[in-house]
A and B are shown apart, each in its own frame.
Chain A
Amino acid sequence: MDRATLTLKDLWPCFEGIIPATIATCAKDGPPNISYVSQVHYVDPDHVAISFQFFNKTRSNIAEHPFACVMVLDPRAMQAYRLYLKYERSESSGPLFHAMSLQLQAIASHAGMSDVFRLRAADIYAVRRIERVEGFTSLPTPPQDERPPSLFIQPDLHALRVIGERLNRSACLGELLENALHCLDEFFGLHQTMLLLVDERRGTLQTIASRGYPENGIGSEVGFGEGLIGTVATAKLPLRLSGLDHTLRYARAVHDRAEAVSGPDAVCREIPLPGLSNASTQIAVPLLIRNRCLGVLVAETLEPLTLLIREEALMAIVAGHLAAGIEQSAHEGDDTVTVDTPVAAPLPVRSAISQRSFCFYHADDCIFVDGEYLIKNVPGRILWRVLKQHQEEQRVEFTNRELRMDSWLGLPEWKDNFETRLILLRKRLEQKCPDVRLVPRGRGRFALEISVKISLSEKPA
């Protein structure tokens, strides 16, 4: 080891808590103090955290004079090191505090002393100098290549772990989808992403969540086998396209096709797929469970050479978590469970508009609001049912169960994806008509909140 450039990372075995560390401090009026510390925790290359459990002389000395000397031992060869520290701050919440607290609690509960051993704070110290104690042991220090990198994990691996935890903590499907795209942005810089779910009956994929686009494109559709996304859904394999030719871009292709097949009138009933019109690279990975494709996760970028095999691998792992979460929510019952942290309802919008006119077209199950296309098919029928009951019976609360039993909605008996359709509807409303909202009230229940006057009309088939 190059002793001149000793870093905290070189000391990783010392932070496993195998041999207790000691801390020397000094009172302002002179007397030194030395005591054991429960945990010396690596924070970053320049900081360590020391557990603070009891008010003692060390704590009072540090408050007066914030310098300390800590001796840690590498248990592999009994090699000692001194860390010269300066106290910076105390944390009594946050991930570091919780990790240290949990470790302490586990030890304490082993000893039946949970009330006694309690972490008051993680005290953060800046490391001013590291010194190897010479003449401590006659054993050689193990060479660097014997050291597993296990304490300082790859940032990507750490990020995937955090993402996995966040996704598994999501209380409902909507939160799961939002968290997934948010995490891809936050941890891997994937700023433009979308998620499409398979509608098996109609042989299409529908956008259920997107991030980073001016138009969220929720509800837009892609057929199986169509473009990058449709191909990925059919092949059940990830695809990465770089240096895209403008004419090949799937978003335009979908739009053009709709126009060509049905004429310009049809286009107004198609929601354009979100997408960067000049994306240089796109990655699409399938959401697979038991080899069934539940959907496709898409990321794209304007910057060439930024979406590469690494990003594809990371997305594939996140897609696996998503698939499991989506599948799980499809099997959950309609029990009206109050979720501890319900999805944040969009803030009531004070609209300049005082009235909204909704029109239901029976010919194609379509709803228009103020003359603009809003939604169609099952989500359209759900909205119509809710609006009608609100108007006729002044109802504001609805349960998934009662709607599922409603034969007019035309839901399949098995795997009705009700929750997915509700999310789609909720997001279309947020975008097109924010003064009519479907606010979750725990699992299996929602409320209709309306802050304008509404009128309903129908056009028969």
Chain B
Amino acid sequence: MIPPAIVELLHTGVSVNVGTRDADLMPECTRGWGIWVENDRQAVTLLLTESASAQTLANLRDNGLIAITCSRPTDHVTCQLKGTVTHIRPATPEDYDRQGQWRRAFLGELIAVGVPAEQADAIIMQPAVAVEMQVTGVFAQTPGPGAGERV
């Protein structure tokens, strides 16, 4: 189960960085545009765009293995979630509502660390694909000693 402190972190406009690999173990990274924790605290849903994450989605359809590192830009509090993707589907209006909440918080974070508002606003986040992930491991990733330890 995802600890409450991590649930709280994941709902504060964190950046979402996604790592996958293909059948030949070649790693791939991309950015996700929205994340939220499901009520059972065993799963999260994140949104990806097909155009920027084609290889990532192909990898997930192939083997489902996923790592996501989420960091809050203003204080670098960071965690990594590892697990397996259970479902990949087009985003629904409900997903876009949740993405809207995350987006406001994330853009607020970016602007707070000096990213010009028009640049933050120009990031293409739709149309999106929703990726449902069963979380099997949660790791502290805030830079410094202790990074990498299981939470």
Contacts and interface: CB of A to CB of B under 8 A. Distances in A.
Interface of A: 19-20, 22-26, 28, 30-36, 38, 54, 56-57, 65, 67-71, 75, 77-78, 80, 82, 84, 113, 116-117, 133-139
Contact of A136 (B27, B50, B52, B78): B52
A319 to B, nearest CB: 44
B119 interface: yes
B134 interface: no
Interface string B112-125: 00010011101110
A78 B52 contact: no
Report the 9 A-B pairs with minimum CB-CB distance, sorted nearest first.
A135-B51, A34-B19, A24-B19, A24-B29, A24-B27, A26-B21, A32-B19, A139-B122, A56-B148
Contacts of B145: 54, 116
Contacts of B49: 135
Given A78-B115, A137-B123, A69 B27 contact: yes
B143 interface: yes
A80 B50 CA distance: 15
Nearest to A71: B29
Interface stretch (B6-14, B36-44, B67-75, B93-101): B67-75
Interface residues of B, number: 40
Contacts of B68: 34
Contacts of A70: 29
Contacts of B31: 71, 80, 136
A23 B18 CA distance: 10
Contact of B29 (A19, A38, A65, A69): A69
Interface of B: 17-21, 25-31, 49-52, 63, 65-69, 71, 78, 80, 82, 115, 118-120, 122-124, 139, 141, 143-145, 147-148
Contacts of B21: 24, 26, 30, 32
A441 B29 CA distance: 59
B52 A23 contact: no
Contacts, number: 120
B103 to A, nearest CB: 14
Contact of A36 (B27, B52, B78): B78
A135 B52 contact: yes
A136 B123 contact: yes
Contact of B65 (A31, A38, A65, A116): A31
Contacts of A22: 17, 19, 29, 69
Contacts of B27: 24-26, 32, 67-69
Contacts of A57: 139, 148
A137 to B, nearest CB: 5
Given A23-B29, A78-B115, A134-B52, A33 B67 contact: yes
Contact of A65 (B25, B30, B63): B25
A36 B148 contact: no
Given A80-B31, A138-B122, A24 B20 contact: yes
B58 to A, nearest CB: 14
Contacts of B25: 26, 28, 30, 65, 67
B83 to A, nearest CB: 9
Contacts of B148: 54, 56-57
B36 to A, nearest CB: 19
Contacts of B51: 134-135
B113 to A, nearest CB: 9
A24 B66 CA distance: 11
